[in-house]
Amino acid sequence: MRFFVDTAEIDAIAELNDLGMVDGVTTNPSLIMKSGRDILEVTKEICDLVDGPVSAEVVAMEADAMIAEGRKLAEIAENIAVKVPLTWDGLKACKVLSGEGHMVNVTLCFSANQALLAAKAGATFISPFIGRLDDINIDGMELIADIRTIYDNYGFDTQILAASIRTVNHVTEAARIGADVMTAPPAVIKAMANHPLTDKGLDAFMKDWAKTGQKIL
């Protein structure tokens, strides 16, 4: 499973990237707002920092305007994935942009039928939103599993990008089901290293080491 980090904060991306934990980055208008940066400027900086796909989202609602914005965003760097919403106009934009050779991430997916349409339209990535489904008492992981089955049934190349990940358990389950990629905030990725038994064991080791009176350096 590839790890994308869901943020527009350069320092957070750099820290994870240095550890080899970043295979790409996803951004959206809300994350750009939180960064306080100009979208073109910060996206270019992210693209220079990481080698993998960097999703940059259009804000237009109509297909022709989405296509124009997508082309503008794609000029930033070769590793831009143009992010479009899963609406009929978004699917039209996906078809055109993917046909021009651009990576396209179709976002805000909440059903298997939507994912099927995105694959037919040539999406590079489909982003089903796990956490937002969980919020309304629908199992987001069932959606990941349904999409995995459908894509495998017909050999679609579109990659499943598990999004709206809120917990480390979301990561585990998405990996078990076979999502190609997951995108999560930096805090969730870092929390994957935590376990109470690790902390307990380390504490015991340190107490025993202190009793020896030794030093390594």
Helix or strand (DSSP H, E) at 116 = helix 112-120
92: nearest Cα among 63, 66, 69, 118: 63
Q: Which of 34, 72, 83, 207 is catalytic?
A: 83
Q: Is 72 in the active site?
A: no
Dist CA 162 CA 160 (whole Å): 6
Q: What is the 3-state secondary structure (H, E, C) of 64-97?
A: HHHHHHHHHHHCCCCCEEEEEECCHHHHHHHHHH
SS3 198: helix
b vs e for 19-51, b when ≥16 Cβ sit within 10 Å of the residue's Cβ?
eebbbbbbbbeebbeebebebeebbbbbbeebe
CA separation for the pair 34, 172 (Å, rounded): 28
Q: Which two tokens stand for residue 28?
A: 């959206």
Residues 116 and 151: their CA atoms lie apart, in Å, by 8
Which residues are known to be catalytic?
83
